[in-house]
Structure 1
């Protein structure tokens, strides 16, 4: 139970962003209470042992870190470690009756050789280098603004200082740039995937949802690298909780907030319930890590339009990595980065068209990543010695509406179809490589958008809480992009402007807004 009746700030939700906000405010001398509905902090950035009797601690919902600023790590004194992946991605393919693929990583020479083997020349590799040189320059200029007050659109454009890059990323559908630069269908697909993670859109969607998603996926820390948290995501959020508590923040779990009332200025009351009772605490400010839709419900206001999620999440433990049909790539290389499945450019377009018509994609696209190749500490010593590995899969173009009539049956069908797409590139069935739990069941679990809504409170399973926004001012945004129409109620979660991903940025920005920076 909360120790006091009134706080300077009450934070609704103990996800990573809420913990960042709590740590900053407590370090500034404010009294802070974090109310978390679940039995543990971390939200979607947690590690769990999902398989009975198996000593493997998987990052269950979110997997990698890209957008977390070193500024936040440094200022909060966070004690955790990130490791670089040696390989960025591998995408298998069948060409002219042979198994091949595209490996990005292992050094420029290794990547160039892979491009040449796939495409028969050096042109696509040269274009790749130029294109991602452009995105890196944009990243170096845009990323520092994410922890500053929101720039206007014109200010951000001046900061980018590249009219062609601005046009490609901010003005026209990213599909146009991809098609103008690249010729190979597989290469085009690899580029496009960064615009589709958790985002249901076509390459040419006029809303530019795919552009916003693409931008956030390539600007992290000025490099776009996606790094591995040693010990899993739980190690990161445990470090945040420790930082918040050591600064004086009070964190209570098993406390579900049911109502927020505010005078809009200096006083708010937050009602919560536990398994045993209900209670109310007062606060000068309320920071909400839950979605804007959830916040509207807490305030008794009209909710914003829904923006459903569109992904399948699968966690697996293997006895061994499967052998590949492509003889030129070792499985330890292929699975060390992001392993793309059915993600050619035309395949992605076909999958989107299927899902938009209300059908499961005939060839569902997905991406796989093996945490334990970079960080084996998540495995018990015996599992590591025996050669076990974790795999996490993120499926694309499967919007929540596809599961509404029978979530369990559709989940099973989609999982089977997704794994069949993977098996087409393996020299042995993945099922033969799955470990079993203490009850003899295969170590595999799948989560649909509706599962994520039920377990984490994500509206429609949307991992970003709502559609991402470009990182500049727009109608209704305040100085930091966290403001609501109530001056003392702020968003500190993924639904803020510059939210989404494992970043801590909304938590930092909400704290800065409270502190008057």
Structure 2
């Protein structure tokens, strides 16, 4: 039995989990003078945004692999460039090879070159593409301000009762957003369609080329189990243009040194502001007071008037350090960067979860959709992929090695893969996005060698037992070989060039990064789990039913990706509640 050693001092706020959102929250709280502690169970901060040298000499962005969603306001306010952050934009940004020499699709910064590439497959589509980009860009501009703040935490019951005070409070607090929306009033019907329609329907309306539609459709299904024909998949088409780097909209970039360099820059900013960060510190439990809802300075009434709900508030956490020491650390404010599932069902006292949260709330958390289907393979290779359609001219990177490489040429390939995954079977022909960051970033691989990253779908977490299990290494290995064989169809030298690799199945993603069921977004980004419904009605702003407990990770609005907005929003709410 480990000895319990209480900590000698209290903190103004404790962050559970040193992922990028937790670090962002810590930085903002510390900059306001708070005594902040970040507890990270792994041996480095960053969560899924980390750089790891799995194969000696090669530095992998082990899970997340592209930057673009990180809010420009966060980069500026936390001085991340001064702390070592360096974006490496890509041109071209996208390459879709075929098996025919000389035939491929590329998206360039230069619109004329992009149009010429698309025209190989359809002159109509080449003319339509700039108009499509402009339309999707307008929708991006419409939604951007909603990423910069918490959504109003107004009771649905109030609104359903027609409570005029609730409406007035909404209008007064968010008048600028209402004014912003009014500017787009003529496009709101189209935007509503984008939110709810199948991606295939939207793309069929704009384009005729299977090559172009399929390349764009991969953005509509990334990190999900949805097919392009599923209602709501069109919303994720915004992913294609949501990136923003150095003031350039629609741009995605590598981070020099891998994604861990981004997390390290945020951590450095937090430390400079006075935050304390401890790694190898595994939080076992969030401690809840059993007395009353009167913890100093905290907002009252999180749970409304339901007398059946426990009135306790947060008092700190119980943590096990790397040397086995177990201790209790006290604070009246705890921010969880974990998924809502882990926060509510694993970190709260199990015998009090129903009374602390309420049966209805707990059931909603337990039944949240965490389907994803993501599988990640990081490869160290001895040479660059040599594509049949665009043979290498020398040993150095060609332009088509710079961007995201897609291996699907028809929508049917996406549909069939998704259909198989929905039955619990990993896709026979996996959907693959390849990136080669070492083509631009010279700091992550030995000279002449490269890092190749493969983001793969569809690999369901819950595999049909008659098919296999991710706990079986041979089953996982067979899927990796299936992925490699698809790449070999387009670049025959690929498999033989692999020096070593690191494969992360959905089960591995869950175990390594604490992402429930391997969902990379802390919960599916489907229509019933975004905006006010993320993770539940009335708690989309990062607050929880428990006084002093907040969620600062991607499980709350505005959701997943290396964005930082949930952390920034949660810090804002905590500072308001601490007044």
Q: TM-score, normalised by structure 2?
A: 0.80
- Aligned ranges for residues 147-186 of structure 1 at < 5 Å? 147-150=148-151, 155=178, 158=182, 160-161=184-185, 162-186=187-211
**Mapped contact 1:2–1:33 kept (Cα < 8 A):** no
User: Aligned equivalents of 1:157 and 1:94: distance in 2?
Assistant: 46
Q: What SS does the aligned partner of 2:333 have? A: strand
User: Aligned equivalents of 1:138 and 1:455: distance in 2?
Assistant: 36
The aligned counterpart of 1:28 is 32
Shift of 1:401: 1.5
User: Aligned equivalents of 1:253 and 1:358: distance in 2?
Assistant: 36
2:243 to 203, 220, 223: 220
What is the root-mean-square deviation in Å for CA atoms of aligned residues? 2.5
- Aligned ranges for residues 420-439 of structure 1 at < 5 Å? 420-426=485-491, 428-434=492-498
User: Aligned equivalents of 1:337 and 1:202: distance in 2?
Assistant: 24
Higher Rg of the two aligned structures: 2
User: Aligned equivalents of 2:284 and 2:92: distance in 1?
Assistant: 45
Question: Which piece of structure 1 moves more, 344-353 or 104-113?
Answer: 104-113
Q: What SS does the aligned partner of 1:29 have? A: coil
Q: TM-score, normalised by structure 1?
A: 0.90
User: Aligned equivalents of 2:239 and 2:183: distance in 1?
Assistant: 16
Q: 1:308 aligned to 2:371?
A: yes
The aligned counterpart of 2:138 is 137
Query: Residues 145-186 of structure 1, C-alpha deviation per residue, up to 9 Å, x if partnerless?
Result: 211232789948546441353133223223221121111112
**Mapped contact 1:468–1:500 kept (Cα < 8 A):** yes
Shift of 1:216: 4.3
Q: What SS does the aligned partner of 1:398 have? A: coil
Q: 1:5 aligned to 2:9?
A: yes
Cα 1:454–1:73 change in 2 (3 A) is: same
The aligned counterpart of 1:448 is 505
Cα 1:186–1:402 change in 2 (3 A) is: farther
Q: 1:499 aligned to 2:499?
A: no
Cα 1:217–1:468 change in 2 (3 A) is: farther
User: Aligned equivalents of 2:6 and 2:111: distance in 1?
Assistant: 55
- Aligned ranges for residues 63-462 of structure 1 at < 5 Å? 63-78=65-80, 79=83, 80-94=85-99, 100-105=103-108, 107-117=110-120, 119=121, 121-150=122-151, 155=178, 158=182, 160-161=184-185, 162-206=187-231, 208=232, 210-221=233-244, 223-263=249-289, 266=295, 267-274=314-321, 275-296=323-344, 297-299=346-348, 300=350, 301=353, 302=362, 303-305=365-367, 306-327=369-390, 332-342=398-408, 344-379=410-445, 383-384=446-447, 387-402=448-463, 405-407=468-470, 408-426=473-491, 428-434=492-498, 442-462=499-519
Q: What SS does the aligned partner of 1:512 have? A: helix
Query: Residues 338-384 of structure 1, C-alpha deviation per residue, up to 9 Å, x if partnerless?
Result: 100135311100111122233332221100001111211223xxx22
Query: Residues 21-47 of structure 1, C-alpha deviation per residue, up to 9 Å, x if partnerless?
Result: 000000001111111111111111111
Question: Which piece of structure 1 moves more, 20-29 or 243-252?
Answer: 243-252
The aligned counterpart of 2:22 is 18
User: Aligned equivalents of 2:341 and 2:330: distance in 1?
Assistant: 22
User: Aligned equivalents of 2:114 and 2:240: distance in 1?
Assistant: 20
Q: What SS does the aligned partner of 1:508 have? A: helix
Shift of 1:49: 0.7
**Mapped contact 1:199–1:309 kept (Cα < 8 A):** yes
User: Aligned equivalents of 1:231 and 1:419: distance in 2?
Assistant: 25
Q: How many residues align?
A: 496
Cα 1:81–1:160 change in 2 (3 A) is: farther
Q: What SS does the aligned partner of 2:331 have? A: strand
**Mapped contact 1:194–1:218 kept (Cα < 8 A):** no
Q: 1:481 aligned to 2:507?
A: no
Q: What SS does the aligned partner of 2:399 have? A: helix
Q: What SS does the aligned partner of 1:348 have? A: helix
Shift of 1:469: 5.8
User: Aligned equivalents of 2:537 and 2:134: distance in 1?
Assistant: 31
User: Aligned equivalents of 1:27 and 1:17: distance in 2?
Assistant: 15
**Mapped contact 2:372–2:524 kept (Cα < 8 A):** no
Q: What SS does the aligned partner of 1:228 have? A: strand
Q: What SS does the aligned partner of 1:284 have? A: coil
User: Aligned equivalents of 2:366 and 2:106: distance in 1?
Assistant: 42
